[in-house]
Structure 1
Amino acid sequence: MPIAARPFDYPYDGHLDPAVTALLVIDLQMDFLSPDGYFARKGYDPAPLRAIIPNVNAVIAAARGAGCTVVHTRQGYRADRADMTPYEVWRRRRAGLDGTEVLLRSSPGYEIVPEIDVHPDDIIVDKTANGAFTYTDLEHVLRARGITHLLFTGCTTDVCVHTTLREAQDRNFQNLLIEDACASGDQYAHQAAIHMVTVEDGIFGVVATTKDVIAGLKAVRR
Structure 2
Amino acid sequence: MIKAIPFDFPYDGRLVPRHTALLAIDLQEDFLSPNGYFARKGYDPSPLRAILPVVNRLMSAARAAGVTIVHTRQGYRADMADMTPYETWRRKRSGLDGTDVLLRSGPGFQIVADIEVRPEDIVIDKTCNSAFTYTDLELVLRARDITDLLFTGCTTDVCVHTTLREACDRNFQCLTISDACASGDQYAHEAALHMVTVEDGVFGALAESQAVIAALSKFTSAAR
1:190: which partner in 2? 189
Alpha-carbon distance between aligned partners in 2 of 1:136 and 1:13, rounded to the nearest angstrom: 29
Q: How many equivalent residue pairs?
A: 221
1:82: which partner in 2? 81
List 4+ stretches of structure 1 deviating above 6 A.
Answer: none
- Is 2:33 aligned against 1:24? no
- Check conservation: 1:16, 1:220, Cα contact below 8 A: no
1:104: which partner in 2? 103
What TM-score results when the alignment is normalised by the length of structure 1? 0.99
Please state how far the C-alpha of 1:202 moved relative to its aligned partner.
Answer: 0.2
Note the residue ranges of structure 1 that are not aligned, 5 or more in a row. Answer: none
1:175: which partner in 2? 174
Query: Which residues of 2 match residues 201-212 of structure 1 at below 5 A?
Result: 201-212=200-211
1:217: which partner in 2? 216
1:164: which partner in 2? 163
Letter of the structure 1 residue corresponding to residue 124 of structure 2: V
Query: What secondary structure does 1:23 align onto?
Result: strand
1:113: which partner in 2? 112
Letter of the structure 2 residue corresponding to residue 101 of structure 1: D
Query: Which residues of 2 match residues 1-150 of structure 1 at below 5 A?
Result: 2-150=1-149
Deviations 1:46-102 (A, max 9, x none): 000000000000000111110011000000000110001110000000111001000
Please state how far the C-alpha of 1:120 moved relative to its aligned partner.
Answer: 1.1
Alpha-carbon distance between aligned partners in 2 of 1:171 and 1:13, rounded to the nearest angstrom: 17
Please state how far the C-alpha of 1:14 moved relative to its aligned partner.
Answer: 1.3
Note the residue ranges of structure 2 that are not aligned, 5 or more in a row. Answer: none
Alpha-carbon distance between aligned partners in 1 of 2:75 and 2:219, rounded to the nearest angstrom: 36
